Structure 1
């Protein structure tokens, strides 16, 4: 059976491969790395890329932390005096162009010293302007990854993503969704631990080919000042979700994680306008009208 040391090493390789792929796709900027240690046990590698030809700011973070569970989490898990281990890779990319979408991915593993474990993660897309052929491509690629392991995964995890990446106070989805899953283990899936780990790796390894294709399709499109202002408004929605609802942000803060690494998901600039209303029939309005749960993007 796979060990936490093997999982940690594999997630580090995924971080390395994604950074190389993003540097190649950008063609200018390189990642800067900062290694950090967590008080209480473990640490990680924060890698940030900025002011590139394609990427305005992005982060590809790896962490492997351990120690005693904080009281809040012990209460939530209804356990006493448990030590934990958690490792994962988390990515958020904010592109320069409003035609290239924001993308987020996370793969993670968690275990308690009583032997309980689970995998979580997912990948989702937040376009500034929804391009249906891109959304269809994105979802088809994710379905292909899921179907290699369990044909029930894509519809189950797609619906989970629709529900999770939802800005309740706006009554809108963050973007076009993707897949999201949490607390997967041998007891609630048809896969054993080794195959769940293989699935987790496959999700991580899908990132570069999927996002590179989306970059190549859209990076050379020109855009206006008005279109960039819409991009900043859409980024504002992204910030609202991450600061109000995101479970990873909350977990990082509650386990005394490194604040700079936790908040690397925020864009370099985001705007808010009071009671902003897109012009009816505009491309902005068309995107706003598609921020809904339950859309079959593959066949859109």
Structure 2
């Protein structure tokens, strides 16, 4: 039981670390049931102008929601919703809600369900044109097979986010990005309010290498046939020293080879392919839509 619990908890933390860079990164973040082509309701599908900031992306509005599904050894479902979007003198801010379900197929157990609420701030420096994003004291609520977890997480990063603020050309080389994050969780047995353990990863990181932009081409996506560009790079994810109670665990970093299929008309990555140990996992955007902010308030 302890081994299975540890597997679920460690996997939950990996989900937190990668969530900072999922399509949010991360984003993150970053659960879809629809497999039909879904129109981008209320979002004008026009190409982003050169040099436009992420804050000006057509989907960066209150009520915008993206849903994704992943296959392979780590099947996952992710829903991310933006609320309370505000423009600032140097960028923008928003509340990002992330709900994810993820599992290790080899364990054949129920998924880890995780809810995150981030207050994010995005700042583009006019001096360097590098975008910076940070989230402080985000609330984490997770449930695994034997336990539930509650705590806080923070992350900060700089570089390119979702490519929306970058003019992307075939054959171009884009700079990488880095994220530093931390998470602190209290562990409870299911059905009880007594803390039975703690878990801290105070120096988790995601490092993305330089990215190569490939040839523009038509591909079949869950949302229909789209013109997209493959952007390939290496991503290194590390939890750093993981403290479980009084015990410190040193976990090996994960090295992933990633291809993002960025679709300029949507200003979004509609498919991501991740290769690790000669195995490929695919994450598809199954819905990108605009909800009524008032109708969804408080959900």
- Do Structure 1 and Structure 2 share a fold, with TM-score over 0.5? no
- Structure number with the higher strand fraction is 2
TM-score by length of 2: 0.30
